[in-house]
Amino acid sequence: MHTVPQPNQTRKLYVVIEGMQKGPFSFDELREMTYQNIFRNDTLYWEEGMAGWAPVGALFLPPGSNQGVGRIRGTVSNPSDIPVRSDSVALHLDSIDKETKPRVPIEARLALILSLLLTWFLPIISAGIPTNAGARRIIVAWCIYLALGGPALFCGHRAISKIRANSDLTGIGRSITGLVIAYLCSLIAILITIYSLD
């Protein structure tokens, strides 16, 4: 039985993802998500009036064109045979978020965290050592700096290299901030050394 196609604005389309039926989607939503590679052209879709599931790519072909995209053999013909999940909105938002959300390298986060820890530990612990124990203060100051400042510098430079090599990454501000703080802390360690030698 031939069914009259519905206007695109009123169509309710379902797709099969990992064996689960998801939807309904509007025609425009499905087209946009297919163009964004959230759905593949061979992802199966169904709407009311169809006898079985067909590849979603067939939806967007010019009228009268088949381009070799036909109905998938061996698929279920009854949509009720596939479990339904009404999480189409969540699926769409999660997929868009994964595509568009800028990624920050873990090294950029570590550089900032380690350098901030360094600014806290270095002066406080060094100041707690008696003034007559200059050698001990120097050793403690540089041990703290090497334990936190060294990794902060490494992570900061590593993050900047990754960001420059990959335009999808962000976080250059965090990396530079971490580096600046770590280098300033090296000056603090030098000043502690000079002060303790007097």
Residue spans per domain, the chain: 8-100, 106-197
Q: CATH number of the domain at 8-100, out of 2.60.120, 3.30.70, 3.30.1490, 3.90.70?
A: 3.30.1490
pLDDT, residue 8, reads 65
Q: How far is CA 25 from CA 62, 92, 154, 189, in A?
A: 21, 10, 48, 61
Closest CA to 25 of 95, 83, 88: 88
Q: How far is CA 93 from CA 23, 77, 99, in A?
A: 13, 29, 10
User: Which residues of the chain have a pLDDT value below 50?
Assistant: 1-5, 65-93, 95-100
**What pLDDT digit, counting tens, does each position of 32-88 carry?**
887 777 777 788 888 888 888 888 877 766 555 444 443 433 344 444 444 444 444
Q: What angle do CA 41, 45, 50 make, to 5 degrees?
A: 130
pLDDT, residue 174, reads 92
pLDDT, residue 76, reads 43
Closest CA to 42 of 34, 32, 51, 50: 34
Tell me what percent of the residues of the chain surpass a pLDDT of 70: 72
> Is 88:22 a contact under the CB 8 Å cutoff?
yes
CA distance 77 to 189: 74
